[in-house]
């Protein structure tokens, strides 16, 4: 059973990474390269190689990412690096495909934003598959692991180191578009990562704790926590009910509590509920 679970996990992660790699390549081939919008990090360097030396992006991407993954072997989990290698292989393969959308426009802000959104989505999918796209994401993962910096923010920092000097090659306007694309990508990635495992935390203060807890237990079919509390003004001890649930469950909980105790005090907060070992996925 354990081996079967591991195989299913590997298969699921592998397929997610392939999907993410495909979306990543579409962003590059259909939105960025045709409109001379660069990327940061390794992808930006592959674009330099393409425009300045006519080196195929797939070749440069594979070589430079290979070097960075050797660094990753030293500082990151080996599993992450193997998944990243899988991502690099598929990104390199998909980059060889001709443009699928053949989208062209003189309104270059559109491909900059669209490319940034697709890049952010693709990296999120790959991160969910426990991999990276190598390049600056390897460095970002290292910054995240050892310094607590958010993945998207760390990536943006490293990518700008390549993107800003590119103004001397692609011009100031395209450099600005590149910075916009990188910023959009980082915002999308951080936003999606922060929503991983998002849940609602419900805190209930009532004089009819036992009745409410009993009903909630039947409704939620999950653990409920009772927290010992003491009111300052009346010095009255009373347990608070604390539960983690989904948006749909909150819609059921509130009327249920009100029907038992109309004077109950209910607090609903947004939280990120995730096992400790997966905490880095939301950062």
Pairing of strands 265-272, 240-245: unpaired
Half-sphere exposure of 279 (CA within 13 A, CB side): 6
Report how far residue 198's alpha carbon sits from residue 105's, in angstroms, rounded to the nearest whole number.
38
Q: Which pLDDT score is estimated for 282?
A: 46
Residue 250 host element (H or E): helix 247-260
Q: Where are the domains of the chain?
A: 2-194, 198-272
Give 240-273 pLDDT, tens digit per residue: 889 888 777 888 888 888 889 888 888 888 775 4
pTM of the model: 0.65
**Distance (Å, whole) CA 21 – CA 134:** 11
Say if CB 250 and CB 244 are below 8 A apart. no
DSSP state of 129: T
Question: Given this model, what pLDDT does residue 43 score?
Answer: 67
Beta-carbon count within 10 A of 66 CB: 12
The answer to whether 207 touches 217, Cβ cutoff 8 Å, is: no
Residue 197 backbone class (left: φ over 0; alpha: ψ -120 to 50; beta: rest): left
Task: Please return the burial class of 188, using the count of CB atoms within 10 Å of its CB with bins 0-12, 13-18 and 19+.
Answer: buried
Q: Which residue shows structure tokens 């400790």?
A: 276
Tell me how far apart the terminal alpha carbons of the chain are, to the nearest angstrom. Answer: 31
Task: Identify whether the C-beta of residue 87 lies closer than 8 Å to the C-beta of residue 131.
Answer: yes
The CATH number of the structural domain formed by 198-272 is 3.30.70.120
Beta pairing, strands 265-272 & 198-205: antiparallel
Question: Could you say which residues of the chain have pLDDT below 50?
Answer: 1-2, 5, 273-274, 276-279, 281-283
Residue whose C-alpha is closest to residue 33's, from 47, 23, 21: 47
Asked if 60 and 49 count as a contact pair (C-beta separation under 8 A), the reply is yes
Cβ-proximal residues to 280 (8 Å cutoff; 6+ apart), any chain: 144, 145
* Greatest extent of the chain over all pairs of C-alpha atoms, in Å: 78
Tokens 């989208």 identify what position?
A: 103
């Amino acid at each position: 059973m354990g081996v079967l679970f591991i195989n299913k996990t590997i298969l699921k992660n592998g397929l997610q990474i392939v999907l993410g790699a495909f979306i990543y390549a579409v962003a590059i081939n259909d939105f960025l390269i045709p409109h001379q919008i660069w990327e940061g990090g390794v992808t930006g360097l592959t674009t330099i190689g393409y425009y300045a030396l006519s080196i195929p992006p797939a070749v440069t991407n594979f070589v430079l990412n290979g070097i960075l993954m050797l660094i990753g072997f030293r500082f990151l989990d080996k599993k992450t690096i193997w998944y990243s290698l899988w991502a690099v292989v598929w990104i390199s393969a998909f980059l060889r495909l001709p443009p699928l959308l053949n989208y062209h426009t003189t309104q270059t802000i559109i491909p900059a934003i669209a490319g940034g959104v697709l890049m952010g989505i693709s990296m999120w999918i790959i991160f969910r598959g426990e991999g990276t796209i190598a390049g600056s994401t390897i460095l970002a993962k290292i910054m995240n692991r050892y310094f607590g910096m958010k993945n998207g923010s760390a990536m943006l920092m490293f990518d700008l180191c390549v993107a800003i000097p590119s103004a001397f090659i692609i011009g100031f306007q395209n450099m600005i578009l590149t910075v916009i694309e990188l910023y959009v990508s980082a915002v999308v990635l951080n936003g999606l990562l922060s929503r991983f495992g998002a849940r609602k935390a419900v805190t209930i203060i009532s004089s009819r704790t036992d009745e409410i807890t009993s009903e909630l237990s039947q409704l939620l079919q999950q653990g409920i926590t009772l927290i010992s509390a003491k009111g300052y003004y009346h010095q009255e001890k009373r347990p608070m009910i604390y539960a983690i649930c989904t948006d749909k469950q909150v819609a059921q909980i509130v009327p249920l509590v009100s029907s038992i105790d109309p004077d109950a005090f209910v607090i609903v907060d947004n939280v990120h509920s995730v096992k400790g070992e997966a905490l880095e996925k939301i950062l």
